[in-house]
């Protein structure tokens, strides 16, 4: 399923430039699920129906039968990752879209959001969500807004190349988050504004810790500071030492306010654009602030396709052409290579790991597991607005919310799959098996939990409906030449993530269950859970597990390993926390219409990322590029590395 996710991610993603939230009303989505060849999709990116073709099968084809020799105990395995938590994958919600996806105020929470978070929390124990992003730097907490609104966008700042509208919000937003945590175990990161260090605004730190208490995981100081100068937020010459100094200013001010969060800061959140993480480490950042840092963070956009939607970015990339780049094991590992030095440095500094975020769907599973194996500790998938293609989930267009439900993208399934792969013990270690002779289309990982072999994660990136490229992995635990006793269990359980093609968007199932197609999701899994039992041959010490093309298989090596990740029951929220319920999505369209950027923004275009503030070019001028973006977006999705100080 990995690929499924992938592709879904792609599809879902179709779009914009990296992590862009565009504040301009485009034609709204319709219920069309496809459009004629040559026709152009002009609706919101998040609802683009384009489906990509799967790439051709690789030549030569990978062997369709291969063995995986495992040790029962972690003590015999070299190169295992640091201990990881099932909450590895979390979400990053752009501050400006909080009312779209999270809720309007403390007593008006969107039930699909609660349901989706509950799905993850029941597998992983908890969910990490960052509220922040490019909009955080100019956001400001005020005590009240007119009409009792909880959030309001100000005019576009014309001095700001990304034209991210400044946001004003009230403590009500923090009550919203806090009320959510009382229903589902969600822990929050908040972004501290850093646009003007001569006049710091740390109200969010003060009120954040007061209202969220233990549910506040950390405060992010600055977002992508390596791009501040390029975007005109800082004068020429602004460098890593300047950020180092500003971080210190924030810390000093927080100390003078007697805030507790001074030990929970996260940074530097470099975009790995104009600086490398090492540029910041070389300033002595970690040593100087080790008492205050809860995590080290990096963000990265591996690629973008701004050209597809905005003028002045050269030739758009055809997503169909770029698709194969995301459908093999090299995609994740090559991007992560850039950070291996940093994950090492983080560990030496007493940090157990670093995490980053970026990735889409199937690719997101492989990428997430590869990050985990490389000692990242968390990764957050970004949720932008309806104008982006990479959302794990998207609320319906504001004026259609009374009859449409949410749209859950394939990437969301990869979050569930990774949560279950790692389980709820906080103590899972990963090894990349270099399966099938290291073939890049059939990667696999083993998970050791509390020191014992617990689960296997096997991917097949190929698409072949004939079944000829499904593969069979013959698993052996101990025995043979390993010198260890035979340890293959009598049977294993297997849960599949499947879709008909890597290009498919809506026919994704995880353990036979689905969250529905476009506008169909209320955040609850539908259908019967299907977990298959595979009988092993204990005399031969083998277990044969089939992995479809395309597909992801999660193999539970014991019942304990399954209980450690499968939820016993799922809490769901239908009309809870809703003021007015017609169906499970109870957003008042009028309220939302005035709260998410549609008001007073006519004809203006802003975005939260660099260089993406131009007016959209004639939409659809290069429709295929959208999907590509999606892939790329997928990449952009995960953005941030977190090193947690345990």
Ligand X SMILES: *[C@@H]1O[C@H](CO)[C@@H](O)[C@H](O)[C@H]1NC(C)=O
The contact set with ligand X (CB under 6 A) reads 25, 27-28, 58, 79, 81-82, 85, 104-108, 125, 138, 140, 148, 166, 172, 175, 179, 182, 195-196, 278, 281-282, 324-325, 328, 330-331, 334, 340-341, 343, 345, 347, 374-375, 399-400, 424-426, 440, 500, 506-507, 517, 579, 588, 591
| Minimum CB distance to ligand X, residue 150 (Å) | 7
Q: CB 245: neighbour CB atoms within 10 A? A: 11
**60 or 483, CB closer to ligand X?**
60
Interacting residues of 493 by C-beta distance below 8 A, sequence separation 6+: 531, 532, 533, 534, 555, 556, 559, 562
Q: Which two tokens stand for residue 490?
A: 């009598």
Distance of CA 176 to the CA centre of its chain: 22
Indicate the DSSP class of residue 188: E
Q: Which is nearer to ligand X, 598 or 617 (CB)?
A: 598
Residue 551: CB minimum distance to ligand X, A = 14
Q: How far is CA 390 from CA 9, 304, 629, in A?
A: 6, 12, 8
Query: What does the alpha-carbon distance between residue 154 and residue 421 come to, in Å, rounded to a whole number?
Result: 43
| Shortest distance (Å) from residue 23 CB to ligand X | 14
Burial class of residue 449, CB neighbours in 10 A (0-12, 13-18, 19+): buried
Alpha carbon of residue 34 to chain centroid: 26
Minimum distance from CB of 399 to ligand X (Å)? 4
Rank residues 544 and 588 by Cβ distance to ligand X and give the closer one.
588
Give least dist CB 605 to ligand X, A. 16
Name the residue among 467, 526, 548 with its Cα closest to residue 1.
Answer: 548
Is the distance from CB of 89 to CB of 421 less than 8 angstroms? no
Joined together, the tokens standing for residue 346 give 């983080």
Which of 294, 450, 431 lies closest to 375 in space, CA to CA? Answer: 431
User: Smallest distance, Å, CB 538 to ligand X?
Assistant: 31
First to last CA, the chain: 33
Closest contact distance (angstroms) between CB of 468 and ligand X is 17
176 or 545: CB nearest ligand X: 176
CA 358/CA 632 separation, integer angstroms: 9
Q: Which two tokens stand for residue 6?
A: 């992938």
Nearer to ligand X (CB atom), residue 119 or residue 346: 346
Task: Record the tokens describing residue 172, joined without a space.
Answer: 């009500």
If the CB atoms of residues 61 and 440 are measured against ligand X, the closer one turns out to be 440
| Closer residue to ligand X (CB): 58 or 538 | 58
**Nearest-approach distance from CB 535 to ligand X, in angstroms:** 29
Q: Which is nearer to ligand X, 125 or 161 (CB)?
A: 125
In the complex, minimum distance from the CB of residue 241 to ligand X, in angstroms, rounded to a whole number:
14
Shorter beta-carbon distance to ligand X: residue 536 or 549:
549
Tell me the closest approach of the beta carbon of residue 1 to ligand X, in angstroms.
Answer: 14
Q: Would you say 393 and 414 are in contact if contact means Cβ atoms under 8 Å apart?
A: no
Of 72 and 631, which has the nearer Cβ to ligand X? 631
Closest distance to ligand X from the beta carbon of 533 (Å): 25
Q: What is residue 43's three-state secondary structure?
A: coil
Rounded Cα gap, residues 233 and 66, in angstroms: 54
**CA–CA separation, 172 and 157 (whole Å):** 25
Residue closer to ligand X (CB basis): 543 or 573:
573
Q: Which is nearer to ligand X, 450 or 486 (CB)?
A: 450
**What is d(CA 24, CA 227) in angstroms, rounded to the nearest whole number?**
24
Element (H or E) spanning 509, and its range? strand 509-510
Euclidean distance between CA atoms 375 and 599, whole angstroms:
44
Q: Residue 381's beta-bridge partner residues?
A: 91, 638
> Rounded to the nearest whole angstrom, what is the least distance from the CB of residue 361 to ligand X in the complex?
14
- Whose CB is nearest to ligand X? 106
Q: How far apart are CA 410 and CA 46, in angstroms?
A: 12
């Amino acid at each position: 399923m990995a690929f499924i996710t992938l592709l879904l991610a792609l599809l879902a993603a179709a779009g914009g430039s990296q992590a862009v939230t565009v504040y301009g009303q485009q034609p709204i989505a319709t219920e069309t699920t496809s459009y004629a060849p040559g026709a152009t999709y002009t609706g919101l990116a998040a609802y683009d129906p384009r489906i990509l073709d799967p790439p051709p099968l690789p030549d030569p084809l990978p062997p369709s039968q291969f063995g995986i020799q495992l040790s029962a105990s972690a003590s015999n395995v070299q190169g295992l990752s640091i201990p990881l938590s099932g909450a590895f994958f979390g979400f990053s919600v752009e501050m400006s879209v909080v009312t779209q996806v999270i809720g309007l105020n403390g007593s008006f929470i969107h039930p699909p959001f609660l349901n989706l978070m509950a799905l993850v929390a029941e597998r992983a124990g908890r969910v990490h969500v960052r509220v922040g992003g490019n909009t955080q730097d100019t956001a400001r907490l005020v005590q009240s807004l007119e009409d009792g609104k909880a959030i309001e966008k100000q005019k576009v700042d014309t001095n700001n190349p990304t034209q991210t509208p400044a946001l004003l919000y009230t403590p009500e937003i923090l009550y919203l988050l806090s009320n959510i945590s009382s229903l589902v175990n969600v822990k929050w990161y908040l972004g501290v504004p850093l646009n003007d260090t001569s006049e710091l605004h740390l109200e969010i730190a003060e009120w954040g810790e007061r209202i969220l208490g233990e549910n506040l995981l950390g405060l992010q100081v600055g977002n992508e500071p390596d791009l501040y100068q390029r975007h005109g937020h800082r004068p020429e010459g602004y460098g890593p030492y300047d950020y180092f100094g500003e971080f210190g200013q924030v810390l000093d001010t927080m100390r003078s306010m007697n805030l507790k969060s001074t030990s929970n800061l996260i940074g530097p959140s470099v975009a790995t654009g104009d600086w490398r993480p090492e540029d910041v480490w070389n300033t002595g950042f970690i040593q100087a602030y080790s008492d205050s840092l809860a995590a080290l963070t990096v963000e990265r956009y591996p690629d973008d396709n701004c050209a597809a939607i905005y003028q002045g970015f050269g030739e758009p990339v055809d997503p169909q052409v770029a698709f194969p780049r995301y459908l093999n094991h090299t995609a994740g590992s090559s991007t992560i290579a850039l950070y291996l030095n940093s994950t090492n440095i983080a560990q030496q500094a007493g940090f157990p790991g670093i995490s980053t975020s970026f990735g889409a769907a199937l690719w997101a599973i492989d990428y997430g597991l590869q990050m985990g194996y490389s000692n990242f500790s968390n990764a957050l998938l970004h949720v932008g607005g309806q104008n982006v293609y990479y959302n794990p989930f998207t609320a319906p267009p504001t004026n259609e919310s009374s009859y449409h439900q949410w749209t859950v993208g394939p990437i969301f399934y990869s979050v569930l799959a990774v949560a279950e792969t790692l389980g709820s013990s906080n103590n899972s270690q990963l090894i990349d098996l270099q399966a099938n002779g290291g073939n890049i289309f059939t990667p696999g990982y083993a998970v050791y939990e509390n020191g014992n072999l617990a689960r296997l994660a096997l991917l097949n990136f190929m698409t072949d409906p004939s079944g000829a490229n499904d593969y069979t992995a013959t698993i052996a635990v101990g025995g043979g030449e390993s010198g260890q006793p035979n340890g293959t269990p009598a049977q294993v359980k297997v849960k599949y993530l499947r879709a008909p093609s890597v290009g498919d968007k809506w026919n994704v199932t995880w353990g036979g269950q689905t969250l529905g197609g476009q506008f169909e999701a209320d955040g609850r899994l539908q259908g019967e859970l299907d977990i298959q039992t595979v009988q092993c041959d204990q005399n031969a010490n083998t277990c044969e597990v089939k992995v479809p093309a395309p597909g992801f298989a999660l193999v539970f090596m014991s019942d304990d390993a399954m209980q450690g990740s499968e939820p016993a029951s799922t809490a769901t929220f239908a009309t809870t926390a809703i003021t007015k319920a017609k169906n499970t999505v109870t957003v008042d369209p009028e309220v939302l219409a005035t709260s998410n950027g549609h008001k007073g923004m006519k004809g203006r275009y802003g975005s939260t990322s660099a260089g993406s503030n131009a007016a959209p070019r004639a939409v659809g001028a290069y429709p295929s590029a959208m999907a590509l973006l999606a892939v790329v977006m997928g990449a952009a999705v995960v953005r941030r590395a977190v090193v947690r100080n345990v």
